[in-house]
Amino acid sequence: GVILLMFSAGLETNLQDMLKTGPIAFFIACAGVIVPLIGGYLLHSLFYGFSPVGSIEFYKAVFIGVILTATSVSITVQTLRELGQLKGIVGTTILNAAIIDDVLGIIVLTFVIGLKNPNVNPMNVIRNTVLFFAFSIIVGLIFYYIFKYLNSKYPHRRRIPIFGLALCMAMSYIAEKYFGIADITGAYIAGIILCNIRDSNYIAEKMDISSYMLFGPVFFASIGLKTSIEYFSLSLLLYSILFIAIALSAKIIGCGLMAKLFKFNKRDSVKIGVGMMIRGEVALIVSQKGLSVGLLDPVFFTPVILLILFSSIVTPIILKFLYREKQ
């Protein structure tokens, strides 16, 4: 389920728009990754103690920051569309920065998972990551043209989504088996490879049937089953409140200040920061991966779910207020 969700996310990526935005969206996305990453690490360390660099507890603290890096922009996009602001400079910047933000977040996730093994040389992790992305570029170019040819020869045929799914599974397996990279990274890359072919929407529709109708609900149900409220305490409640506060403010501060550096006015900078603060399915996917590799305890699913619920409700309200107040 998680692999198909990331494959679908890759398919929905507009690679051309992402490349066109140039340095502005990239640097805003970088700030939107770095500030929450540091904030999450500091929060966890202040609550549970600072651990030696390289220890498993150190990487658990870093992983809390990794969870906070991802942006889910779907609700923001819908809000901007309702306000008629999706195609404006602010809306375009939010959309493309969020896409780049997720790519950077996946790269950070890859590094942290690779480094958490004490027997692994950090240079090997860097080397494997670079080799994987170099491999992905070569394979991506080859399969892009293969799928482009198949798409022209067999337009809108079911074999195209089947071949796409095969590529997704192959990239996921190769990433984990031969490069030590998270399987969801391979799935996301497979989606990006196919996102610009003519029938990418058709593939996405077919994937949605299995992903959102079957495997997606199973994945989210498994998250619910693994969410532990047995040990919920006042301490965890305080942690959850601060977790949400840092998650939201880190995006506003990081993305907003970077936007201001690129000559956006104060109000538009705040809009960009607010638009980037929402979290969703990507945060859950990253959390699930953390649980499976031993970097996240089940009890911390509760703050993540509360963050997703709160940010999904609050973000559209604040955005509408910011736009309507100007009007």
CATH label of the domain that carries residue 245: 1.20.1530.20
What's the pLDDT at 165?
86
State the residue for tokens 């994945």.
219
Residue 141: CB atoms within 10 A of its CB come to 11
What's the pLDDT at 196?
78
pLDDT higher than 70, residue 23: yes
Q: What is the mean pLDDT of residues 287-311?
A: 87
Backbone dihedral angles phi then psi of residue 113, each to the nearest 5 degrees: -65, -40
List the one residue out of 254, 316, 227 whose CA is nearest residue 105: 254
Q: What is the pLDDT of residues 273-284, one digit of tens each?
A: 999 998 877 788
Angle at alpha carbon of residue 183, lines to 177 and 186, rounded to 5°: 100
- CA 126/CA 233 separation, integer angstroms: 39
- CA 141/CA 183 separation, integer angstroms: 20
pLDDT band at 227 (very low <50, low <70, confident <90, very high): low
- Tell me the three-class secondary structure of 237-302, residue by residue: HHHHHHHHHHHHHHHHHHHHHHHHHCCCCHHHHHHHHHHCCCCCHHHHHHHHHHHHCCCCCHHHHH
State the residue for tokens 């670079």.
130
- CA 296/CA 290 separation, integer angstroms: 5
pLDDT higher than 90, residue 108: no
Output the average pLDDT for the chain: 82
What's the pLDDT at 151?
82
pLDDT higher than 70, residue 21: no
pLDDT band at 83 (very low <50, low <70, confident <90, very high): confident
Q: What is the mean pLDDT of residues 127-147?
A: 88
Q: What is the mean pLDDT of residues 67-87?
A: 76
- CA 238/CA 241 separation, integer angstroms: 5
Q: What is the pLDDT of residues 184-221, one digit of tens each?
A: 778 888 888 888 787 777 777 777 666 566 665 665 66
Side chain identity at 239, as an amino acid letter?
Answer: Y
HSE value, Cβ hemisphere, 13 Å, CA-based, for 54: 5
Higher pLDDT, 148 or 10: 148
What's the pLDDT at 125?
72
pLDDT higher than 90, residue 119: no
What's the pLDDT at 201?
74
pLDDT higher than 80, residue 171: yes
**pLDDT > 90 fraction of the chain, expressed in percent and rounded:** 24
CB 277 within 8 A of CB 247: yes
Q: Domain of residue 301: give its range.
A: 2-326
Give the rounded distance of the alpha carbon of 327 from its chain centre: 32
pLDDT higher than 60, residue 99: yes
Residue 196: CB atoms within 10 A of its CB come to 15
pTM: 0.74
| Number of compact structural domains in the chain | 1
What's the pLDDT at 177?
84
Long-range CB contact pairs, 140-143, < 8 A, 24+: 140/189, 140/192, 140/193, 143/167, 143/193, 143/194
Higher pLDDT, 1 or 48: 48
Q: What is the mean pLDDT of residues 222-251?
A: 82
